[in-house]
Structure 1
Amino acid sequence: MNSSLFLQSDVSDPYLLYENMRNKNAVFWDESNKIWAIYSHKHCVEVLKNPKAQIPTINPDNIQKLNKYALDILNNLTRLSNGIQHEIGREISTMLFSKMKSIEISSVINALIQNDLIESKIDWVDSVSKKLPILILLKSFNFNDNDSNFISKNIETIVKIMLLKKTDEEVASINEISEDLFSRIKKYLFNIVDESLLFSIGEKHAISSDQIIKIAVSNLIGLFIQSYDAGRGILSNSFLQIIQNKTFSDKTTIEKSVIETIRFDPPIQNTRRIATEDFYIGESLIKKNDLILIVLASANRDSETFKNPATFDIERNNNIENLTFGIGGHMCLAKYFSIQLAAEALWLLFDKYKTIFNTNQ
């Protein structure tokens, strides 16, 4: 393989490429793209845990020409990815997650299915996978219908804030909604979290009230982005694997299937870091400012960690050791929310719509 960067749609079997790289060069310098690609589970864990490998800055010097509100959201999300800002952001995000109220998803998923059901058929991805995670989050934070509709309608634009490269059209669409998005979410903030607790975090870290509000609003937007990105892929990929492997006998079996899908065919194939200092991975010297591609999907198929990794096996005892959501302090906070949501939604689907059991997909 000459390049570590490719579109999945351009490769018939990326997992075969990953296996070849793990066997030949698990820590690979991609000269054409000037980036390290890490393929083994062990070495991916080393990078993810290394404080000298940080999440790279998006949009330095605002070269993408985002407006004030979009820039505030992006900067508060990416700055929070590293150092003390990360600790602040995680503290706020944990507070936000703790304030979510429990939502009965059956009525939500039934409405989504019935609204788009045509001749007993439905587009699972467009009708459910792309809508359910964000709708459940919005309902759990008591957003009203008007604001929920605005955010749900624009979620595909909102997630583009985090793109490393954006087209002019994407920047324009982000700028168009960013002020409205920020103001709509800000008005709910103190209905969700205790004002005094939030400001106490700011005082502890010598951050102004205005800035801590920006951080909190951006974190809530970040939760929406994470849940949408993770949720739609897990709901779609898990559905396919459960159908193909006929693992829908009960809710526990479906939950195991979701976890195994996250390992076997993850919606998030890789993530990036940048070296802030020199360090070694194995015998390879990663130099300061080197870019690093952590190939999570390859790590999840590493036979050194997972027995018979190319086999979909819901009973494998360490499937939860997959790296799809990261590990440690940078683990995606939407991990358990996304797993539970997918398991609940898919069980409701398979339990109610029995004809799915007979599909030939």
Structure 2
Amino acid sequence: MNSTLFLQSDSIDPYLIYKTMLQNNPVYWDETNKIWAIYSYEDCVSILKNPKAEILDVNPGNKQKLNKTALEILNNLTRLSNGIQHEISKEIAMLLFLKMKSVDINSIISQLIKNNLVENKIDWVNSVCKTLPVLVVLKSFGFEEKDCEFISTQIESLVKIMLPQKTEEQVKSINKISEQIFSIAEKQLSSLRFFESLSPKISESNSLSLDEIKTISISNLIGLFIQSFDAGRGILSNSLLQILNNKTFSSKQEIEKSIIETLRFDPPIHNTRRIATEDIPISGSLIKKNDPILAVLASANRDPKKFENELKFDIERNNNAENLTFGIGPHMCLAKHFSIHLTTEALWFLFNELKTVEILENNIQYEPMINARLPKAIWISLQ
């Protein structure tokens, strides 16, 4: 029996593991790791929608020794909060999304390709995927060029704030970078006219001080940077691989359908964790209070009870959009539509403008992560 927890870098095809578990142990207690693993679509939905299954505290009692600024960012993120705190931070995060201005994605990706193209070759992941989504978010809020450059080059280190386990070196880097990025975000958010008028309204409706609202808002603006890096990088990488493999790039509509099917067939995020705050009966098993839970979204996305002919990459399947990659229920990722739109625009520019795009690698290597399957690099040639 394979462990329910494994590094994606160590697995050639994790879907073989998921298929076996889905068939034999769709709700499985992993005695070694002391965690419940949920593999079926129906049961994953049940867990994600269950208010008794809450987000885990990734830094209980600040054991990781984050400084004040880093701790404020972490504690106020919508993705990591529960209850009323989640409702407040989600309201603020949604307002931030609504205030994002449209930017010219084509000009940004064109410049990134121009800056990193060497002899008609480029590393798609490190040259575009890790930078484009963050730059689009930054520019949509009007950040100055020097601030865009600083944050986009440092965000990969700050993203480690989400890890439940961090090295001393990672914590040191997070503490240093978080103060700088928080200061930049605070300055820019305070200069935006919409925030000056919205802040008192949010404060009054939630009985919080203006300073508290400001801290939550800045933290969730930074959360947008983190989400855009996480989700954006993975979707841009995995979608390119599937589109090239299946040759589905004849129109923008076909590319968008391919991206949505990639989110089902080969998603960047493979699992998410919860903890039971009370006993939860599920499919003949009993998840006990305080038991940790692993919802294996990538397995649920290939559940034959939900998706017909689940092992085929089919952009015309009528329910592909019902994949669980962005979650479902109160903690569904707010970056879903933004990420799909951004990826559609970027990949359509790539295939429409450059015409000939070819992959130069036969064996893609993946990052050593448990929850996400992210290519380390994808070298392509452009003509």
Cα 1:19–1:80 shift into 2, 3 Å: closer
- CA, structure 1 residues 83+357, in 2 after alignment: closer, same or farther (shift >3 Å)? same
- Structure-1 separation of matches of 2:359 and 2:342: 24
Mapped partners of 1:2, 1:118: distance in 2: 42
The answer to whether the Cα contact below 8 Å between 1:57 and 1:78 also exists between their aligned partners in 2 is no
2:174 is aligned to 174
Deviation at 1:359, TM superposition (A): 7.8
CA separation of 1:118 and 1:60: change in aligned 2, threshold 3 A = same
Q: How does 1:35-50 map to 2 (within 5 A)?
A: 35-50=35-50
RMSD of equivalent CA atoms: 1.4
Alignment of 1:95-174 (within 5 A): 95-174=95-174
Question: Counterpart of 2:269?
Answer: 268
Deviation of 1:357 (Å): 6.4
Which residue type is aligned with residue 222 of structure 2?
I
**CA-CA distance at 1:201 after TM superposition:** 1.4
Cα distance, 1:81 vs structure 2:
2.2
Name the CA distance, whole Å, in 2 between partners of 1:3 and 1:74. Answer: 29
Deviations 1:122-168 (A, max 9, x none): 11111111110000000000000111111111110111111110000
SS at match of 2:334: coil
Superposed, 1:181-200 pairs within 5 Å as 181-192=181-192, 193-200=194-201
Residues 340 and 13 of structure 1: CA distance in aligned 2, closer, same or farther (over 3 Å): same
Number of residue pairs the alignment of both structures matches: 361
Instruction: Give the Cα–Cα distance (whole angstroms) in 2 for the partners of residues 119 and 178 of structure 1.
Output: 37
Contact 1:79 1:85 survives alignment (8 Å): no
Indicate conservation of the 8 Å contact 1:350/1:357, yes or no. Answer: no
Q: How far apart are 1:180 and its partner, in Å? A: 1.2
Q: How far apart, in 1, do the equivalents of 2:177 and 2:124 lie?
A: 27
| Residue identity in the other structure for 2:247 | K
Q: Which stretch of the first structure deviates more once superposed, 39-48 or 277-286? A: 277-286
Alignment of 1:181-330 (within 5 A): 181-192=181-192, 193-330=194-331
The unaligned stretches of length 5 or more in structure 2 are: 363-383
Residues 129 and 237 in structure 2, CA contact (< 8 A), matched pair in contact too: yes
Alpha carbons 1:247, 1:257 under 8 Å: kept: yes
Contact 1:41 1:300 in 2 (8 A): yes
Q: What SS does the aligned partner of 2:121 have?
A: coil
Q: Is the 8 A contact 1:28 1:37 kept in 2?
A: yes
What are structure 1's unaligned runs of at least 5 residues?
Answer: none
Sort the Cα spacing of 1:307 and 1:278 in 2 relative to 1 into closer, same or farther, 3 A.
same
Aligned amino acid, residue 66 of structure 2: L
Query: TM-score when scaled to structure 1?
Result: 0.97
Which moves more between the two structures, 196-205 or 299-308? 196-205
What aligned pairs does 1:342-357 form with structure 2 within 5 A after superposition? Answer: 342-356=343-357
Divergent runs of 4+, >6 A:
357-361
Q: Aligned partners of 1:316 and 1:225: how far apart in 2?
A: 31
Alignment partner of 1:122: what SS?
strand
Q: The residue matched to 2:357 in structure 1 has which SS?
A: helix
How far off its partner does 1:80 sit? 5.9
Contact 1:43 1:281 in 2 (8 A): yes
Report the Cα distance in structure 2 between the residues aligned to 1:58 and 1:360, rounded to whole angstroms. 36
Scaled by the length of structure 2, the TM-score of the pair is 0.92
The SS at the match of 1:272 is strand
Contact 2:2–2:17 under 8 Å retained in 1: no
